């Protein structure tokens, strides 16, 4: 075992047990999920963050690659009350610093009271508080990570074949694999494109639905994706999850804002405004839609803080969710969202005409 130090933005330095050595920095956030550590650690939405698990024992059912949401661990470091050896071995293989044997309850309480904060971490036999403070001094805010989309997007287009007739173009801003799986299981063929794909790239696929994925960071840092939404709005049915909701709202004239500590866990209650039905949802985001603008209506809200959890436009054929209907981990209350998305292709005679971009 080695020494470990966490230098927090509030001035404190927390001592811990080092499990995987290294020096790093990021935004300190937490998740309240009891299970799903594999899915959380491989969720691209945690890019540039340090993930603290509020549940005390992480790793009690092993590590299986089939539960991963991407091909690597995305948080800059992992923090828990106790990690099992199997998780430590996995994080070591991924070269991701890890610490445990500290009061994670105190960390979570601090984040709840003061908001997500910057943290510097030093782990190893030669780790010192000063080294952790040096990392903290170099830490940037999430809005400053202007190229974060390039860190998590697919390097090249990928197609997943379904057995139906619907074609979905998924713009990958850091998509979870479960989103692709949920669409393919319903028969859709999914073309995954980089977040900076051009309108010509989308038009070449003759897509039925444009889907903006989840992902990390400030939605304002995804300018190419904003341009896609603006270009195809009203011409191609559109859906979005998490960051995708924020990007769509922003591109259509709405505004977004950073939350104090975000929504991260598997027990966020959401109420549908029309039906009054309350569902439990999985969430992982630090930004939210503050104002949907004149083109989108709020259809669902968070029971705890009234933030927008669902947006829609009948005129533009848009439906979005702030939470993750595909869960993994979490409740399956809202999987029918993907049925609603694919049903958008059934509306005919509404005057919509897909734009055609001339190719060279």
- For 244-279, what is each residue's pLDDT tens digit? 999 999 999 999 999 999 999 999 999 999 999 999
| pLDDT tens by residue, 68-109 | 999 999 999 999 999 999 999 999 999 999 999 999 999 999
Percent of the chain with pLDDT over 70: 96
For residue 353, name the pLDDT band (cuts at 50, 70, 90).
very low
CATH for the stretch 2-140: 3.50.30.20
Per the annotation, binding residues for L-glutamine are: 45, 215, 217, 243, 246, 284, 286-287
Burial class of residue 245 in the structure, from the number of CB atoms within 10 Å of its CB (0-12 exposed, 13-18 middle, 19+ buried): buried
Domain boundaries defined on the chain: 2-140, 148-346
Enter the DSSP assignment of 66: G
Q: What is the pTM of this model?
A: 0.95
pLDDT, residue 347, reads 64
Taking domain 148-346, whether its CATH number is 3.90.1150.10 is answered by no
| pLDDT tens by residue, 138-163 | 999 999 999 999 999 999 999 999 99
Per the annotation, binding residues are: 45, 215, 217, 243, 246, 284, 286-287
Does the active-site annotation cover 242? yes
Exposure string for 216-236, b = 16+ CB within 10 A, e = fewer: bbbbebbeebbebbebbbbbb
Encoded tokens for 152: 């998590």
Specify whether the CB–CB gap between 252 and 233 falls below 8 A: yes
Mean pLDDT computed over 174-187:
97
pLDDT, residue 1, reads 64
For residue 330, name the pLDDT band (cuts at 50, 70, 90).
confident
Angle, vertex CA 336, rays to CA 282 and CA 258, nearest 5: 35
Which listed residue (135, 242, 285, 309) is catalytic? Answer: 242
């Amino acid at each position: 075992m080695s020494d470990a130090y966490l230098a927090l933005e509030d001035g404190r330095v927390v001592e811990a047990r080092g499990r995987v050595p290294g020096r790093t920095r990021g935004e300190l956030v937490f998740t309240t999920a009891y299970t799903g550590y594999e899915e959380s650690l491989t969720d691209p939405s945690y890019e540039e963050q340090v993930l603290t698990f509020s549940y005390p024992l992480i790793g009690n059912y092993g590590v299986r690659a089939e539960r991963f949401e991407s091909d690597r661990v995305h948080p800059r470091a992992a923090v828990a009350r106790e990690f099992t050896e199997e998780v430590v071995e996995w994080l070591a293989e991924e070269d991701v610093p890890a610490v445990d044997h500290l009061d994670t309850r105190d960390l979570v309480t601090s984040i709840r009271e003061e908001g997500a904060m910057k943290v510097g971490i030093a782990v190893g036999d030669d780790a010192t508080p000063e080294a952790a403070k040096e990392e903290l001094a170099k830490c940037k805010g999430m809005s400053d990570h202007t190229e974060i989309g390039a860190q998590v997007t697919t390097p090249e287009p990928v197609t997943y074949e379904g057995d139906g007739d619907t074609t979905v173009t998924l713009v990958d801003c850091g998509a979870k694999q479960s989103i692709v799986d949920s669409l393919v299981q319903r028969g859709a063929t999914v073309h995954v494109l980089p977040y900076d794909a051009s309108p010509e790239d989308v038009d070449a696929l003759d897509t039925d639905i444009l889907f903006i994925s989840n992902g990390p960071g400030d939605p304002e840092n995804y300018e190419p994706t904003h341009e896609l939404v603006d270009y195809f709005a009203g011409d191609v049915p559109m859906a979005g999850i998490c960051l995708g909701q924020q990007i769509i709202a922003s591109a259509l004239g709405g505004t977004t804002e950073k939350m104090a500590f975000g929504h991260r866990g598997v027990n966020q209650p959401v109420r549908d405004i029309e039906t009054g039905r309350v569902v439990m949802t999985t969430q992982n985001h630090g930004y939210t839609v503050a104002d949907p603008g004149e083109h989108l209506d709020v259809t669902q809200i968070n029971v705890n803080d009234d933030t927008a959890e669902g947006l829609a436009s009948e005129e533009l054929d848009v439906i979005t969710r702030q939470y993750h209907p595909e869960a993994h981990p979490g409740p399956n209350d809202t999987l029918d969202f993907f049925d609603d998305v694919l049903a958008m292709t059934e509306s005919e005679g509404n005057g919509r005409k897909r734009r055609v971009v001339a190719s060279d």
